Amino acid sequence: MPSPREEFLAGSREIAPALVGTMPFGLVTGVASIAAGMSPVEGIALSVLAFSGIAQLVTSQLIALHSPLPLVLVATLVVSLRLVMYSATLSPHLAHLNQRWRLLLSYLMTDQSFASTVRRYAEADERAHKHYHFLGSSLTLWVSWQLSVIAGVVAGAGVPEGWSLDFVVVLTFLALLVPVIRNGADVAAAIVAAVVAMLAAGLPYRLSLIAGSLAGIVAGIALDASRRSSR
């Protein structure tokens, strides 16, 4: 059975290739917080507390637009709902751990570490120390994320606009989007969400994101339901 140390290092190694995507993303996120008018300390505090690129970017954009606090919270809630699904998926594997472990791993969970942890738990070997694999991948991502956000905060708007580094953010989400589309209902959810988000692009406070997400979720459920009733 692999020791805790071996599990930790294996998790850390497994997440390493993803850092090529997350570190420029962190840099862009740090730059975005400064561009939104936050102080460096505020940008770093947001990154430590939220530890989520999407949540940090949406918060930055809405603060820049002087959105009211409830709207900031609702928007973050909607774009972060996927974390609930991850939490539900991992909870049976972590139920044997004490509350301190579960709170720590909850705080550290991200799209990338979720994916690698699910893969590790799917392997049929002895599971006693698999949570160290989770800890290894998550902590490696945490440290590199915070460092790259700090670099972005320090660089401020110093990154030349001609590099189009903001496109890295779009590509990162694109790379996460493609694998979660597994059936026709997923395709419908994604297409409806994309079209509504584009049509609603003129709405204030980036409400297009909420409108598109909700429309996509409803479309997915509707297609699922109609397929089930026609059977």
Partner 1 sequence: MSTWLAIAGVGAVTFLLRASFIAFADPHRFPGWFRQALAFVPPAVLAAIVAPGLVMRDGAFDLSWRNPRLIAGLLAILVAARTRSVLATIVSGMAALWLLQWAMG
Span 28-67, contacts to partner 1 by CB under 8 A: 38, 42, 45-46, 49-52, 54-56, 59, 62-63
Q: Does 143 bind partner 1 (CB under 8 A)?
A: no
Backbone angles phi, psi at 126, to 5 degrees: -55, 130
| Tokens describing residue 216 | 């996509």
Q: Does 153 bind partner 1 (CB under 8 A)?
A: no
Residues 12-31 that bind partner 1 (CB under 8 A): 17-18, 20-21, 24
Q: Does 212 bind partner 1 (CB under 8 A)?
A: yes
Largest separation between any pair of C-alpha atoms in the chain: 58
Q: How far is CA 144 from CA 18, 60, 137, 141, 217, in A?
A: 11, 20, 11, 5, 33
Number of residues that bind partner 1 (CB under 8 A): 91
Cβ distance to partner 1 smaller for residue 5 or 48: 48
Q: Does 157 bind partner 1 (CB under 8 A)?
A: no
Q: Does 180 bind partner 1 (CB under 8 A)?
A: yes
DSSP 203: S
Q: Does 141 bind partner 1 (CB under 8 A)?
A: no
Q: Does 201 bind partner 1 (CB under 8 A)?
A: yes
Cβ distance to partner 1 smaller for residue 3 or 107: 107
Residues 69-128 that bind partner 1 (CB under 8 A): 69, 72-73, 76-88, 90-92, 94, 99, 102-103, 105-107, 109, 112
Q: How far is the CB of 223 from partner 1 (least distance, A)?
A: 9
Q: Does 189 bind partner 1 (CB under 8 A)?
A: yes
Q: Counting beta carbons within 10 angstroms of the beta carbon of residue 81, is it exposed (0 to 12), middle (13 to 18) or buried (19 or more)?
A: exposed
Helices within the chain (DSSP H only): 4-15, 19-35, 40-50, 53-64, 69-79, 82-94, 99-108, 111-122, 130-155, 166-180, 184-199, 207-229
